[in-house]
Amino acid sequence: MADEKEISLKEKRIRKITQLYYSNPEIQKALFEFSKNREVVPRYFEGFGKRPDSWQYPSDMFELVKKGATSFHCSQELWDNPLNLSNNQSQEQINSMRIGWDFLIDIDCPWIEGSKYAAIAIINVLKKFNINSISVKFSGSKGFHILIPSKSFPKEIGGEETKNLFPELPRKLINYLKFETRKELEKIIPKDFLESILKNSEVKRGVQCNSCNGIAEEYLYLELFCDKCKIGEERRIPFKDKIEIKCPNCSKPYRIKKSIPFYFCKNCNIDSMKKPSNFSTTIMADLFEVMGLDLILVSPRHLFRMPYSLHEKTALSSIVIDKEKLKDFDLKDANPINVKIKNFMPENIKEGEAKEFVIRALDWNSENNKKKDEKKSEKRNFKEVEIKDVSENNFPPCIKKILLGINDGKKRGLFALINFFKMINLEDEEIEKKIYSWNEKNNPKLSESYLKSQISWALKNKKIMPPNCKEFYQAIGVCIPDEICNKIKNPINYVIIKNSNSQKPKSKIQRKKI
């Protein structure tokens, strides 16, 4: 009931001023001028009006106000004729109708002061790229909208028309802008403001990744061992996860032989175990998370509040602000009674001035994606070992010894065999055939029900390496090392080396001329 009363009070407050406010010819003109070539949608406090829509005359807007419209929203995309838009059109049809798009940065922070610092930092970054056609407006609540007009961007990028690169290109620009803005925010944000936020909020703090300036996640590298089954494995788990990892063979908890904390950056796919120099030693807080800052990503036919539209929750106007005076902005400036009209679209736009910014953003995104792809490739190469010859002649002595049949440690032997066969990419049917054939040689044999359950569990789950050498295989009496064994730590490496040696071209014997 309290919520309903609050909503009704807000609605009553804004409806009290809508007709008076929107009847102002200057407000009507400002809204109408900005609406040209844009999709325009009214909001009737409780929901949006029909789409698509556009205005032919300034009075069209006021007619909607008379019907109950409280605010107006428009597209950042520019259209030849917005009324021709529909949800059933192909991408090719949409591209043919789009004549351009403005780059809109939607800053949303729980505190108006936080949004102000973020906006100033973003403008500073854009200016470093010699972009001067920048306009700013108040969102009407706690944020700001920064706009770079369509004309500021080159007409073509990589042989494609820029107008057709929506929303992919603006998303890449936003990602790069967030990367650069983090560094700028650290310079300009007052320490007392940051400390006051940190005291009153639970935010992520940690070691900073020097590649992206983001906060790295803390993980644990674990070496686990089951004293009963004499098997072990390695795991990497988030530091905060308090999980008990059990032996897949006997279901008893593993003993932790080694536990090493390390840092991992999800953005860059880099960890401190491989590249410790990439991580700072200072404990940092992620400014974007501290401030609740969200640079909202664009999407097709994305709408934003029009300049000088009212805001339902605050009854304030989305006024245009001089970017040089942004730090002096006060909520009182957005009082609908005191609004002074300014053009939201920058004047004297220099065409193509954002070209350097676009190039740098595309390079950064390309390099960032390349790192991620390389990391994925590393993981894929590790899991999917390419082994052409999987004959038993290339098996290590320990696996050959197990395959002859063993009296003691049969369950541990089974665990090693299944994971060994999976890692060398044997077909499921072949694995089952080999396991059942091996069990016939054991004395006494493992029960068929146990074999089925272990094979079924292993084949359904992801591949894991067989246990490492020495301790495990010595414990069940099958470790008979040869010269290759002295160079490896895991039976899989043995097969890889044997395959590698067999694929080397044989050196030709040169006959002496007589």
For residues 23 and 128, membership in a common domain is answered with yes
- The answer to whether 36 and 58 have CB atoms below 8 angstroms apart is no
For residues 100 and 241, membership in a common domain is answered with no
- The answer to whether 471 and 230 have CB atoms below 8 angstroms apart is yes
For residues 34 and 140, membership in a common domain is answered with yes
Per-residue pLDDT of the chain (514 residues; tens, 9 = 90+): 444 445 567 788 888 899 999 999 999 999 999 999 999 999 998 789 988 899 999 999 999 999 999 999 999 999 999 999 988 888 899 999 999 999 999 998 888 998 999 999 999 999 999 999 999 999 999 999 999 999 999 999 988 999 999 999 999 999 899 889 988 988 898 888 877 776 665 555 668 788 777 778 889 999 989 888 888 888 888 887 767 888 877 788 999 999 999 999 887 888 888 888 888 755 555 666 655 555 666 788 889 999 999 999 999 999 999 999 999 999 999 999 989 999 999 989 999 999 999 999 999 988 877 655 555 544 444 445 467 778 888 899 999 999 999 988 898 899 999 999 999 888 888 899 999 999 999 988 888 888 888 888 888 777 888 988 877 888 788 988 888 988 888 999 999 888 877 655 554 444 444 3
Reading the block at residue 134, the tokens are 């920048």
Indicate the number of domains in the chain. Answer: 3
Contacts of 441 (CB under 8 A, 6+ apart): 403, 404, 405
3-state secondary structure of 301: coil
- The answer to whether 169 and 176 have CB atoms below 8 angstroms apart is no
Q: Which domain holds residue 325?
A: 10-195+290-368
For residues 327 and 465, membership in a common domain is answered with no
| Among candidate residues 374, 375, 472, 378, the one with its CA nearest the CA of residue 419 | 472
For residues 128 and 260, membership in a common domain is answered with no
For residues 317 and 269, membership in a common domain is answered with no
CATH of the domain at 307: 3.90.920.10
Rounded to 10 deg, the angle between the 112-128 and 168-188 helix axes is 110
Helices (H), 313-463: 355-383, 397-403, 410-423, 428-439, 448-460
Predicted TM-score of the model (pTM)? 0.61
DSSP state of 76: S
For residues 211 and 178, membership in a common domain is answered with no
